[in-house]
Amino acid sequence: MDTNQLISFALISLGFIAIPGPNILVIISISMTAGKVRGLQTVVGTSLAMFIQLIIAAGATSWLLSLLIEGLFWLKWCSVGYLLWIGILSFRKFSEVRCCHYNPLLGLFRKASGFH
């Protein structure tokens, strides 16, 4: 990152930090219209609401990750089964070719030379 990009990033970040969010605007407007006590009650209420939201978000994220881990576990074992199935089919095809004494080079020679 060069100096110009770093200065631009710092100025834009400072602008976002300086702009008050919706909670601050609600607290200021209630404090100005209803008084200091009502403003402090609003601070407690919005802080409690953010805390509850944080707990719910953390729990949901934890549940989603555990669900994802379980799904990837079963996906892994389904993939193992699929690879085993492909291996069994390959062995069957190989045994059929060996059983009939088919020579792939001879077949290629016949196709290329026109003798069928």
Concatenating the DSSP letter of every residue in the chain gives --HHHHHHHHHHHHHHHHS--HHHHHHHHHHHHH-HHHHHHHHHHHHHHHHHHHHHHHHHHHHHHHHHHHHHHHHHHHHHHHHHHHHHHHHHHHHHHHHTT--HHHHHHHHHHT--
pLDDT tens digit string along 80-93? 999 999 988 888 88
Q: Would you place residue 107 in the very low, low, confident or very high pLDDT band (cuts 50, 70, 90)?
A: low
Verdict on whether the full-model pTM lies above 0.95: no
Its domain, for residue 64, covers: 3-113
pLDDT tens digits along 33-45: 999 999 999 999 9
The pLDDT value recorded for residue 58 is 96
Quote the pLDDT of residue 109. Answer: 59
Name the average pLDDT for the chain. Answer: 85
